[in-house]
Structure 1
Amino acid sequence: MAEKKSRVGDAYVQLKEDIRSNLMPPGFQAPEPEIAERLGMSRTPVREALIRLEAEGLVELIPRRGARVLPIKAEDMQEIYQILTALEPDAAAHLAARKPTFDDLAPLREATDEMEQALEAGDLDRWAEADDRFHITLLELHGNRRMQSFVSALYDQAHRARIVTLRLRELPVRSTQEHREILDRLATGDVEGTRAVFRQHRERAATELLKILENYRLPQL
Protein backbone atom coordinates (compact mmCIF):
# COMPACT_ATOMS: atom_id res chain seq x y z
CA MET A 1 0.00 0.00 0.00
CA ALA A 2 2.80 2.40 0.92
CA GLU A 3 4.61 1.59 -2.30
CA LYS A 4 1.48 2.24 -4.37
CA LYS A 5 0.91 5.54 -2.56
CA SER A 6 4.50 6.51 -3.33
CA ARG A 7 4.07 5.72 -7.04
CA VAL A 8 0.87 7.77 -7.20
CA GLY A 9 2.64 10.63 -5.46
CA ASP A 10 5.56 10.47 -7.88
CA ALA A 11 3.21 10.50 -10.88
CA TYR A 12 1.23 13.37 -9.41
CA VAL A 13 4.31 15.51 -8.72
CA GLN A 14 5.79 14.90 -12.18
CA LEU A 15 2.56 15.54 -14.05
CA LYS A 16 1.80 18.67 -12.04
CA GLU A 17 5.27 20.08 -12.70
CA ASP A 18 4.97 19.32 -16.43
CA ILE A 19 1.63 21.14 -16.49
CA ARG A 20 2.83 24.08 -14.39
CA SER A 21 5.89 24.56 -16.59
CA ASN A 22 3.86 24.09 -19.77
CA LEU A 23 5.81 21.03 -20.89
CA MET A 24 2.26 19.73 -21.11
CA PRO A 25 0.74 23.00 -22.37
CA PRO A 26 -2.90 24.11 -22.30
CA GLY A 27 -4.85 21.92 -24.70
CA PHE A 28 -2.37 19.01 -24.56
CA GLN A 29 -4.28 15.75 -24.81
CA ALA A 30 -3.13 12.14 -24.73
CA PRO A 31 -4.53 8.72 -23.82
CA GLU A 32 -3.60 7.43 -20.40
CA PRO A 33 -1.28 4.67 -21.72
CA GLU A 34 0.73 7.31 -23.58
CA ILE A 35 0.99 9.48 -20.48
CA ALA A 36 2.04 6.46 -18.43
CA GLU A 37 4.71 5.59 -21.00
CA ARG A 38 5.90 9.21 -20.94
CA LEU A 39 6.48 8.87 -17.19
CA GLY A 40 7.85 5.35 -17.36
CA MET A 41 5.10 4.11 -15.04
CA SER A 42 2.15 1.73 -15.08
CA ARG A 43 -1.33 3.07 -15.79
CA THR A 44 -2.80 2.65 -12.31
CA PRO A 45 -0.77 5.30 -10.42
CA VAL A 46 -0.98 7.63 -13.40
CA ARG A 47 -4.76 7.26 -13.47
CA GLU A 48 -5.02 8.10 -9.77
CA ALA A 49 -2.67 11.08 -10.18
CA LEU A 50 -4.80 12.38 -13.06
CA ILE A 51 -7.92 12.11 -10.90
CA ARG A 52 -6.22 14.33 -8.29
CA LEU A 53 -5.20 16.82 -10.95
CA GLU A 54 -8.73 16.89 -12.32
CA ALA A 55 -10.03 17.75 -8.83
CA GLU A 56 -7.53 20.64 -8.74
CA GLY A 57 -8.78 22.06 -12.03
CA LEU A 58 -5.67 21.34 -14.10
CA VAL A 59 -6.92 18.53 -16.37
CA GLU A 60 -10.12 16.89 -17.49
CA LEU A 61 -10.52 13.17 -18.01
CA ILE A 62 -12.33 12.29 -21.22
CA PRO A 63 -13.79 8.76 -21.53
CA ARG A 64 -11.89 6.68 -24.12
CA ARG A 65 -9.76 9.70 -25.05
CA GLY A 66 -7.50 10.11 -22.05
CA ALA A 67 -6.69 13.38 -20.32
CA ARG A 68 -6.60 16.96 -21.56
CA VAL A 69 -4.77 19.83 -19.92
CA LEU A 70 -7.37 22.51 -19.39
CA PRO A 71 -7.05 25.77 -21.30
CA ILE A 72 -6.17 29.06 -19.67
CA LYS A 73 -9.23 31.29 -19.79
CA ALA A 74 -9.48 34.94 -18.82
CA GLU A 75 -12.70 34.34 -16.89
CA ASP A 76 -11.05 31.57 -14.84
CA MET A 77 -8.08 33.79 -13.99
CA GLN A 78 -10.42 36.61 -13.02
CA GLU A 79 -12.20 34.35 -10.54
CA ILE A 80 -8.91 33.01 -9.17
CA TYR A 81 -7.44 36.46 -8.63
CA GLN A 82 -10.65 37.65 -6.99
CA ILE A 83 -10.27 34.83 -4.45
CA LEU A 84 -6.55 35.50 -3.93
CA THR A 85 -7.25 39.20 -3.46
CA ALA A 86 -9.88 38.38 -0.85
CA LEU A 87 -7.76 35.90 1.13
CA GLU A 88 -4.07 36.74 0.88
CA PRO A 89 -4.06 40.35 2.14
CA ASP A 90 -5.91 39.31 5.31
CA ALA A 91 -3.56 36.37 5.83
CA ALA A 92 -0.57 38.70 5.50
CA ALA A 93 -2.19 41.21 7.86
CA HIS A 94 -2.75 38.52 10.49
CA LEU A 95 0.90 37.51 10.18
CA ALA A 96 1.96 41.14 10.66
CA ALA A 97 -0.21 41.35 13.78
CA ARG A 98 1.84 38.54 15.34
CA LYS A 99 4.97 40.71 15.03
CA PRO A 100 7.09 38.13 13.18
CA THR A 101 10.77 38.05 14.10
CA PHE A 102 13.72 38.60 11.77
CA ASP A 103 14.26 34.84 11.68
CA ASP A 104 10.57 34.17 10.99
CA LEU A 105 10.77 36.29 7.86
CA ALA A 106 14.07 34.85 6.60
CA PRO A 107 12.42 32.61 3.93
CA LEU A 108 10.48 35.60 2.59
CA ARG A 109 13.65 37.71 2.45
CA GLU A 110 15.44 34.91 0.59
CA ALA A 111 12.61 34.65 -1.95
CA THR A 112 12.55 38.43 -2.44
CA ASP A 113 16.34 38.59 -2.80
CA GLU A 114 16.18 35.83 -5.41
CA MET A 115 13.45 37.67 -7.32
CA GLU A 116 15.66 40.76 -7.49
CA GLN A 117 18.71 38.72 -8.54
CA ALA A 118 16.73 36.82 -11.19
CA LEU A 119 15.37 40.07 -12.58
CA GLU A 120 18.87 41.52 -12.86
CA ALA A 121 20.00 38.36 -14.65
CA GLY A 122 16.97 38.37 -16.95
CA ASP A 123 15.96 34.89 -15.75
CA LEU A 124 12.17 35.11 -15.73
CA ASP A 125 11.58 31.44 -14.99
CA ARG A 126 13.70 31.71 -11.85
CA TRP A 127 11.86 34.92 -10.97
CA ALA A 128 8.48 33.19 -11.27
CA GLU A 129 9.57 30.32 -9.04
CA ALA A 130 10.84 32.75 -6.37
CA ASP A 131 7.60 34.69 -6.63
CA ASP A 132 5.59 31.52 -6.05
CA ARG A 133 7.80 30.60 -3.12
CA PHE A 134 7.18 33.99 -1.48
CA HIS A 135 3.40 33.54 -1.60
CA ILE A 136 3.44 29.88 -0.54
CA THR A 137 5.83 30.59 2.34
CA LEU A 138 3.70 33.47 3.58
CA LEU A 139 0.71 31.15 3.88
CA GLU A 140 2.87 28.56 5.67
CA LEU A 141 3.92 31.24 8.17
CA HIS A 142 0.28 32.25 8.62
CA GLY A 143 -0.43 28.68 9.68
CA ASN A 144 -3.95 27.99 8.39
CA ARG A 145 -3.48 24.60 6.75
CA ARG A 146 -6.88 24.52 5.07
CA MET A 147 -6.32 27.92 3.50
CA GLN A 148 -2.85 26.87 2.43
CA SER A 149 -4.15 23.72 0.74
CA PHE A 150 -7.00 25.57 -1.00
CA VAL A 151 -4.92 28.52 -2.19
CA SER A 152 -2.03 26.31 -3.34
CA ALA A 153 -4.34 24.71 -5.90
CA LEU A 154 -5.19 28.19 -7.19
CA TYR A 155 -1.49 29.04 -7.37
CA ASP A 156 -0.94 26.06 -9.68
CA GLN A 157 -3.62 27.30 -12.07
CA ALA A 158 -2.42 30.90 -11.93
CA HIS A 159 1.22 29.85 -12.39
CA ARG A 160 0.47 28.37 -15.82
CA ALA A 161 -1.05 31.64 -16.98
CA ARG A 162 1.86 33.65 -15.64
CA ILE A 163 4.44 31.44 -17.36
CA VAL A 164 2.61 31.72 -20.69
CA THR A 165 2.23 35.52 -20.43
CA LEU A 166 5.45 36.42 -18.59
CA ARG A 167 7.30 37.34 -21.76
CA LEU A 168 4.35 39.24 -23.20
CA ARG A 169 4.47 41.90 -20.49
CA GLU A 170 6.96 44.40 -19.17
CA LEU A 171 9.66 43.11 -16.86
CA PRO A 172 8.13 42.52 -13.40
CA VAL A 173 10.04 45.34 -11.75
CA ARG A 174 7.01 46.78 -9.99
CA SER A 175 5.90 43.36 -8.77
CA THR A 176 9.34 42.76 -7.25
CA GLN A 177 9.25 46.14 -5.52
CA GLU A 178 5.82 45.31 -4.10
CA HIS A 179 7.14 42.09 -2.57
CA ARG A 180 9.90 44.09 -0.89
CA GLU A 181 7.29 46.56 0.40
CA ILE A 182 5.15 43.74 1.79
CA LEU A 183 8.21 42.28 3.53
CA ASP A 184 9.12 45.67 5.02
CA ARG A 185 5.57 46.14 6.36
CA LEU A 186 5.57 42.66 7.87
CA ALA A 187 8.90 43.34 9.55
CA THR A 188 7.49 46.41 11.33
CA GLY A 189 4.20 44.72 12.28
CA ASP A 190 2.24 47.21 10.17
CA VAL A 191 -1.09 45.37 9.92
CA GLU A 192 -3.08 47.75 7.74
CA GLY A 193 -0.08 48.71 5.64
CA THR A 194 0.63 45.05 4.92
CA ARG A 195 -3.00 44.47 3.97
CA ALA A 196 -3.12 47.54 1.69
CA VAL A 197 0.12 46.84 -0.16
CA PHE A 198 -0.76 43.17 -0.64
CA ARG A 199 -4.21 44.02 -1.98
CA GLN A 200 -2.73 46.58 -4.36
CA HIS A 201 -0.20 43.98 -5.51
CA ARG A 202 -2.85 41.39 -6.36
CA GLU A 203 -5.22 43.87 -7.99
CA ARG A 204 -2.48 45.29 -10.21
CA ALA A 205 -1.22 41.82 -11.19
CA ALA A 206 -4.75 40.69 -12.04
CA THR A 207 -5.38 43.73 -14.25
CA GLU A 208 -2.11 43.18 -16.10
CA LEU A 209 -2.65 39.45 -16.62
CA LEU A 210 -6.27 39.74 -17.73
CA LYS A 211 -5.40 42.44 -20.26
CA ILE A 212 -2.90 40.08 -21.90
CA LEU A 213 -5.28 37.10 -21.87
CA GLU A 214 -8.03 39.17 -23.44
CA ASN A 215 -5.87 40.74 -26.16
CA TYR A 216 -3.43 38.04 -27.27
CA ARG A 217 -4.05 34.74 -28.98
CA LEU A 218 -2.08 32.45 -26.71
CA PRO A 219 -0.70 29.17 -28.09
CA GLN A 220 -2.64 25.92 -27.76
CA LEU A 221 -5.48 27.28 -25.62
Structure 2
Amino acid sequence: MSPPGKYGTSIFLNGLEARIDSELVSRPVDILFQMEQDASALGVPVLTPASGAVLRFLVECEQPEEILELGTGYGISLFWMASGLNRASKIVSLERESDYIARVRSYLEKHPFSDLDIRLLKVHCLRYLEEASENPNAKWSAKFVFVDCDKVLYPKIFRILKRMRPDTAVFDNVLWHGRIFDPDRQAPSDKAVREFWEEVKNSNFSYTLFPVGDGLLRIRFR
Protein backbone atom coordinates (compact mmCIF):
# COMPACT_ATOMS: atom_id res chain seq x y z
CA MET A 1 0.00 0.00 0.00
CA SER A 2 1.30 3.46 -0.84
CA PRO A 3 1.98 5.88 2.02
CA PRO A 4 -0.61 8.62 2.59
CA GLY A 5 -0.08 11.65 0.41
CA LYS A 6 2.30 9.95 -2.00
CA TYR A 7 0.16 10.81 -4.98
CA GLY A 8 -0.22 14.47 -4.17
CA THR A 9 0.31 17.56 -6.29
CA SER A 10 2.18 16.94 -9.53
CA ILE A 11 5.73 18.25 -9.75
CA PHE A 12 5.18 19.15 -13.38
CA LEU A 13 4.62 22.74 -14.44
CA ASN A 14 2.12 23.94 -17.02
CA GLY A 15 3.72 23.91 -20.43
CA LEU A 16 6.67 21.78 -19.32
CA GLU A 17 6.13 19.07 -21.93
CA ALA A 18 6.03 21.63 -24.74
CA ARG A 19 9.30 23.17 -23.49
CA ILE A 20 10.92 19.73 -23.35
CA ASP A 21 9.80 18.91 -26.89
CA SER A 22 10.87 22.25 -28.35
CA GLU A 23 14.08 22.92 -26.42
CA LEU A 24 15.51 19.65 -25.12
CA VAL A 25 14.71 17.00 -27.73
CA SER A 26 16.96 16.83 -30.78
CA ARG A 27 15.37 15.65 -34.05
CA PRO A 28 17.58 13.10 -35.83
CA VAL A 29 16.28 14.21 -39.25
CA ASP A 30 15.13 17.74 -40.06
CA ILE A 31 12.01 16.65 -41.92
CA LEU A 32 10.47 15.69 -38.58
CA PHE A 33 9.94 19.41 -37.91
CA GLN A 34 7.86 19.72 -41.08
CA MET A 35 5.92 16.56 -40.27
CA GLU A 36 5.11 17.85 -36.78
CA GLN A 37 4.00 21.22 -38.16
CA ASP A 38 1.82 19.60 -40.83
CA ALA A 39 0.11 17.37 -38.27
CA SER A 40 -0.42 20.28 -35.87
CA ALA A 41 -1.96 22.43 -38.61
CA LEU A 42 -4.55 19.73 -39.28
CA GLY A 43 -5.11 18.87 -35.63
CA VAL A 44 -3.85 15.32 -36.04
CA PRO A 45 -2.49 13.78 -32.81
CA VAL A 46 0.98 12.31 -33.30
CA LEU A 47 3.83 10.84 -31.28
CA THR A 48 5.48 13.54 -29.17
CA PRO A 49 9.16 14.32 -29.77
CA ALA A 50 10.08 13.09 -26.29
CA SER A 51 8.27 9.81 -26.97
CA GLY A 52 9.95 9.60 -30.35
CA ALA A 53 13.35 9.97 -28.75
CA VAL A 54 12.62 7.12 -26.33
CA LEU A 55 11.34 4.94 -29.18
CA ARG A 56 14.47 5.66 -31.21
CA PHE A 57 16.64 4.82 -28.19
CA LEU A 58 14.96 1.42 -27.83
CA VAL A 59 15.44 0.67 -31.53
CA GLU A 60 19.07 1.80 -31.33
CA CYS A 61 19.69 -0.58 -28.44
CA GLU A 62 18.07 -3.61 -30.04
CA GLN A 63 18.86 -3.07 -33.75
CA PRO A 64 16.10 -5.46 -34.91
CA GLU A 65 16.32 -6.97 -38.37
CA GLU A 66 12.63 -6.30 -38.90
CA ILE A 67 10.16 -3.89 -37.30
CA LEU A 68 6.38 -4.15 -37.58
CA GLU A 69 4.44 -0.94 -36.99
CA LEU A 70 0.71 -1.11 -36.31
CA GLY A 71 -0.65 2.28 -37.30
CA THR A 72 1.46 4.42 -39.64
CA GLY A 73 -0.47 7.63 -39.10
CA TYR A 74 1.61 10.63 -40.16
CA GLY A 75 4.77 8.56 -40.23
CA ILE A 76 6.48 10.36 -37.37
CA SER A 77 7.09 7.21 -35.34
CA LEU A 78 8.35 5.47 -38.49
CA PHE A 79 10.95 8.21 -39.03
CA TRP A 80 12.07 8.08 -35.40
CA MET A 81 12.53 4.31 -35.59
CA ALA A 82 14.21 4.37 -39.00
CA SER A 83 16.72 6.95 -37.77
CA GLY A 84 17.75 4.59 -34.97
CA LEU A 85 18.74 1.72 -37.25
CA ASN A 86 22.37 1.47 -38.30
CA ARG A 87 22.16 -1.56 -40.55
CA ALA A 88 20.08 -2.80 -43.45
CA SER A 89 16.77 -3.57 -41.78
CA LYS A 90 13.13 -3.85 -42.80
CA ILE A 91 10.17 -1.85 -41.52
CA VAL A 92 6.64 -2.95 -42.37
CA SER A 93 4.09 -0.30 -41.43
CA LEU A 94 0.35 -1.00 -41.51
CA GLU A 95 -2.27 1.68 -42.08
CA ARG A 96 -5.92 1.51 -43.15
CA GLU A 97 -6.17 5.15 -44.35
CA SER A 98 -4.96 5.73 -47.91
CA ASP A 99 -4.44 9.46 -47.32
CA TYR A 100 -1.95 8.79 -44.55
CA ILE A 101 -0.02 6.30 -46.66
CA ALA A 102 0.21 8.79 -49.54
CA ARG A 103 1.44 11.52 -47.22
CA VAL A 104 4.10 9.32 -45.64
CA ARG A 105 5.31 8.24 -49.07
CA SER A 106 5.74 11.91 -49.98
CA TYR A 107 7.85 12.44 -46.85
CA LEU A 108 9.95 9.40 -47.71
CA GLU A 109 10.58 10.83 -51.17
CA LYS A 110 12.00 13.94 -49.51
CA HIS A 111 14.04 11.97 -47.00
CA PRO A 112 14.57 8.38 -48.15
CA PHE A 113 16.30 5.92 -45.86
CA SER A 114 18.28 4.28 -48.63
CA ASP A 115 19.73 1.48 -46.49
CA LEU A 116 16.33 0.35 -45.22
CA ASP A 117 13.53 -1.68 -46.76
CA ILE A 118 10.44 0.33 -45.78
CA ARG A 119 7.03 -1.04 -46.80
CA LEU A 120 3.71 0.73 -46.27
CA LEU A 121 0.72 -1.60 -46.44
CA LYS A 122 -2.94 -0.58 -46.59
CA VAL A 123 -4.49 -3.14 -44.28
CA HIS A 124 -6.37 -3.39 -40.99
CA CYS A 125 -3.85 -4.08 -38.21
CA LEU A 126 -5.89 -6.68 -36.35
CA ARG A 127 -6.82 -8.56 -39.52
CA TYR A 128 -3.16 -8.69 -40.54
CA LEU A 129 -2.11 -10.07 -37.14
CA GLU A 130 -4.95 -12.58 -36.99
CA GLU A 131 -4.13 -13.96 -40.43
CA ALA A 132 -0.43 -14.20 -39.57
CA SER A 133 -1.10 -15.93 -36.26
CA GLU A 134 -3.64 -18.41 -37.68
CA ASN A 135 -1.67 -19.37 -40.79
CA PRO A 136 0.63 -22.30 -39.97
CA ASN A 137 2.73 -21.50 -43.04
CA ALA A 138 3.19 -17.83 -42.17
CA LYS A 139 6.72 -16.91 -41.21
CA TRP A 140 6.82 -14.41 -38.35
CA SER A 141 10.00 -12.39 -38.73
CA ALA A 142 9.33 -9.10 -36.92
CA LYS A 143 11.47 -8.86 -33.79
CA PHE A 144 10.24 -5.41 -32.72
CA VAL A 145 6.59 -4.30 -32.85
CA PHE A 146 5.38 -0.75 -32.33
CA VAL A 147 1.66 -0.37 -31.63
CA ASP A 148 -0.17 2.92 -32.10
CA CYS A 149 -3.53 2.02 -33.59
CA ASP A 150 -7.13 1.94 -32.33
CA LYS A 151 -6.92 1.60 -28.55
CA VAL A 152 -9.96 -0.69 -28.51
CA LEU A 153 -7.74 -3.28 -30.18
CA TYR A 154 -4.95 -3.21 -27.58
CA PRO A 155 -6.13 -6.23 -25.53
CA LYS A 156 -6.58 -8.39 -28.63
CA ILE A 157 -3.23 -7.30 -30.06
CA PHE A 158 -1.48 -8.11 -26.79
CA ARG A 159 -2.99 -11.61 -26.78
CA ILE A 160 -1.84 -12.25 -30.34
CA LEU A 161 1.66 -11.00 -29.60
CA LYS A 162 1.82 -13.34 -26.60
CA ARG A 163 1.45 -16.18 -29.10
CA MET A 164 3.66 -14.74 -31.82
CA ARG A 165 6.45 -13.78 -29.39
CA PRO A 166 8.45 -10.97 -30.98
CA ASP A 167 11.44 -9.94 -28.87
CA THR A 168 9.90 -6.59 -27.96
CA ALA A 169 6.65 -4.68 -28.34
CA VAL A 170 6.15 -1.00 -27.56
CA PHE A 171 2.62 0.36 -27.07
CA ASP A 172 1.88 4.10 -27.25
CA ASN A 173 -0.85 6.01 -25.38
CA VAL A 174 -0.95 3.58 -22.48
CA LEU A 175 -1.70 6.38 -19.99
CA TRP A 176 -4.62 7.39 -22.19
CA HIS A 177 -4.63 11.00 -21.01
CA GLY A 178 -5.10 9.80 -17.44
CA ARG A 179 -8.52 8.34 -18.19
CA ILE A 180 -7.40 4.88 -17.05
CA PHE A 181 -7.49 6.24 -13.48
CA ASP A 182 -10.92 7.87 -13.77
CA PRO A 183 -13.74 5.36 -13.04
CA ASP A 184 -16.25 7.75 -14.60
CA ARG A 185 -14.58 7.29 -17.97
CA GLN A 186 -16.32 4.31 -19.54
CA ALA A 187 -15.86 4.79 -23.27
CA PRO A 188 -14.89 1.60 -25.16
CA SER A 189 -11.33 2.88 -25.55
CA ASP A 190 -11.08 3.66 -21.82
CA LYS A 191 -12.23 0.17 -20.89
CA ALA A 192 -9.91 -1.40 -23.46
CA VAL A 193 -6.78 0.34 -22.20
CA ARG A 194 -7.64 -0.64 -18.61
CA GLU A 195 -8.20 -4.24 -19.71
CA PHE A 196 -4.90 -4.18 -21.59
CA TRP A 197 -3.08 -2.97 -18.47
CA GLU A 198 -4.62 -5.69 -16.32
CA GLU A 199 -3.53 -8.37 -18.76
CA VAL A 200 0.00 -6.97 -18.94
CA LYS A 201 0.33 -6.75 -15.16
CA ASN A 202 -1.00 -10.29 -14.73
CA SER A 203 1.38 -11.72 -17.32
CA ASN A 204 4.88 -13.01 -16.66
CA PHE A 205 6.48 -10.68 -19.17
CA SER A 206 8.93 -7.98 -18.18
CA TYR A 207 7.64 -4.49 -18.94
CA THR A 208 8.72 -0.88 -18.45
CA LEU A 209 6.57 2.25 -18.54
CA PHE A 210 8.16 5.38 -19.98
CA PRO A 211 5.95 8.29 -18.78
CA VAL A 212 6.68 10.53 -21.77
CA GLY A 213 3.97 11.93 -24.01
CA ASP A 214 0.88 9.84 -23.35
CA GLY A 215 2.93 6.91 -22.05
CA LEU A 216 5.08 4.33 -23.84
CA LEU A 217 5.06 0.75 -22.58
CA ARG A 218 7.88 -1.60 -23.56
CA ILE A 219 7.15 -5.32 -23.15
CA ARG A 220 9.79 -8.02 -23.49
CA PHE A 221 8.36 -11.31 -24.75
CA ARG A 222 11.67 -13.20 -24.75
TM-score category, normalised to shorter length:
under 0.3
Structure ranking higher in helix proportion: 1
Structure ranking higher in strand proportion: 2
Of the two structures, which has the highest relative contact order with CA contacts closer than 8 Å and spacing of 6 or more? 1
Give TM-score, length-normalised by structure 2. 0.23
Give TM-score, length-normalised by structure 1. 0.23
Higher radius of gyration, 1 or 2: 1
